[in-house]
């Protein structure tokens, strides 16, 4: 039983090494442009969300302050 598990583990390791060695090389030629585009997109989304939240806050009436402490009027 132990040799069977050891053999299958060996096969998995050999397969993983083979897949790693056969992997294609990555191409980073457009990485700078993609990072810049992602940054600009993130800034645009953040500004849009901020603008929408500010507009929604302006349309909503201010909340009334409710206190749980006893209110005493001065004469």
Per-residue model confidence (pLDDT) at position 59:
77
CA distance 14 to 19: 9
Per-residue model confidence (pLDDT) at position 74:
65
Which domain range does residue 37 map to?
31-58
Q: Is residue 53 part of a domain?
A: yes
Quick check: 15 pLDDT over 80?
yes
CA-wise closest residue to 13 among 2, 21, 1, 24? 21
Number of domains in the chain: 1
**Over the stretch 19-40, which tens digit does the pLDDT of each residue have?**
877 767 767 788 888 899 999 9
Q: Is residue 43 part of a domain?
A: yes
CA distance 15 to 24: 16
Quick check: 48 pLDDT over 70?
yes
Residue 73 pLDDT class (50, 70, 90 cuts): low
- Over range 29-57, report the average pLDDT: 89
């Amino acid at each position: 039983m132990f040799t069977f598990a050891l053999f299958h583990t060996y096969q998995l390791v050999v397969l993983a090494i083979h897949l790693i060695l056969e992997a294609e090389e990555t191409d980073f030629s457009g990485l700078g442009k993609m990072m810049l585009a992602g940054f600009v997109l993130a800034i645009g989304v953040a500004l849009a969300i901020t603008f929408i939240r500010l507009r929604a806050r302006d349309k909503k009436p201010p909340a009334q302050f409710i206190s749980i402490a006893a209110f005493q009027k001065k004469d």
